[in-house]
Amino acid sequence: MPVSAGAVRKLLRDVAAAGSREQVLAVGGAPGLAHLLRQQFLRGRAAPEAVRVGGPDGADMYVHVLSAEVGDDDAAVLRRASRARVPVVAVAVGFADDATIPYVLATDVVWVGAGRAFPLESVARAVAARCGEHGAPLAARVPLLREALGEQLVASFARRNGIVAAAVWIPGADLPVLALNELRLVLRLAQAHGAAGDLRDRLPELAATLAAAFGLRALAREALGVVPTAGWAVKAGVAYAGTRAVGEAARLRFSAPGEEHRSSPG
C-alpha cells in the first residue's frame, strides 16, 4: 500500500464531515439582478434552499451583484463579508473599465456589459476558484457549479502533485503524499457530483486510484532511466499528467447519467 489504512480512514472521515452540513450560496446586491442571478444558479435541479437572496451572514459563499457603481450599502456589505471571512465574488454590471471593487480581489470580479446576460460560466469559474475544494458540498447542491469546480479541482491537485514530485528527492518518499492527494481529489469530485453517499461505496474508485499511483511511480522510474539528468522535471511531469488523468477519469465517472441517484443514500 502506498498509504496506510489509517491515513485513508482519516481522509474518508474528513471528507464525510465536510459534506455533513448543507452549504448555502447567498446572492445579494442590486435587488432585481440578485433575484435574476439566483434563478440562474438554480438551473439543473438545484436544491432551492441552497441558493438564497440576502447578505453574507451564515452563507458559505457570497456573490454580490453591483449595477453601474459601488454605493455605500454595497461597500458596507462587502466589508461585512470580508470581516466574516465569507468567500466573495462580485458581479459588476455596466462598470467603467478602470473601476475597482472594494474588499474584493480583482481576480474575484466578473465584469458584465450593460444590458448583457450574466456570463454564467465565468461566474461559476470565479465561484469555484474562490471556494476551492471546500466548495464540493455546495456544488453537490448547485449543479451549475460542478463543471467549473471539477476543472478547478483537477488543475489544482495536478499542480500540487507536480510540485511535490519535483521537490522530494528521496526515492519513494513522495508516493504517500501523491497518492493521498489523488484519493482526496477523487473523493472531492464524487462529493461535488452528489455521488458521495456512503463513502464506502467509493472503494472501487479509491482502489483504482491507488493502482494508478503505483503505475505512475513505475512510469517515473523508467523515465528517469532514460533522462537521468533532469529527474526532477520528469517526476514533476509524470505526477502532473498522471493526476490530471486520474481526475478527468473520475469526472467522467461521476458525471455519468444516473450516478448521483445510484450513489446517494436510499
Per DSSP, what are the bridge partners of residue 117? none
Is residue 112 scored above 70 in pLDDT?
Answer: yes
- Let me know if domain 25-138 sits in CATH 3.40.50: yes
pLDDT digits (tens, 9 = 90+) for 56-84: 999 999 999 999 899 999 999 999 999 99
What local confidence, expressed as pLDDT, does residue 132 receive? 92
What local confidence, expressed as pLDDT, does residue 134 receive? 93
Read off the pLDDT of each residue in 130-142 and give the average, rounded to a whole number.
94
Q: Give the integer Cα–Cα distance in Å for 158 and 131.
A: 17
pLDDT > 90 fraction of the chain, expressed in percent and rounded: 51
Q: Give the integer Cα–Cα distance in Å for 45 and 63.
A: 20
What local confidence, expressed as pLDDT, does residue 220 receive? 52
pLDDT digits (tens, 9 = 90+) for 200-244: 666 666 666 666 655 556 555 555 444 455 555 777 787 888 889
What local confidence, expressed as pLDDT, does residue 213 receive? 59
Q: For the whole model, what pTM was predicted?
A: 0.83
What local confidence, expressed as pLDDT, does residue 6 receive? 83
More confident residue, 243 or 167: 243
More confident residue, 253 or 53: 53
Where does the pLDDT of residue 266 fall: very low under 50, low under 70, confident under 90, or very high at 90 and above?
very low
Contact present, 179 and 209 (Cβ < 8 Å): yes
pLDDT digits (tens, 9 = 90+) for 1-53: 567 778 888 888 888 888 888 999 999 999 999 999 999 999 988 999 999 99
* 204, amino acid identity: P
Contact present, 231 and 224 (Cβ < 8 Å): yes
The two beta strands, 51-53 and 25-29, are: parallel
Q: Where in the chain is the domain with CATH 3.40.50?
A: 25-138
Q: Cα–chain-centroid distance for residue 130?
A: 8
More confident residue, 175 or 252: 252
- Comparing C-alpha atoms, which of 260, 189, 201 is closest to residue 47? 260
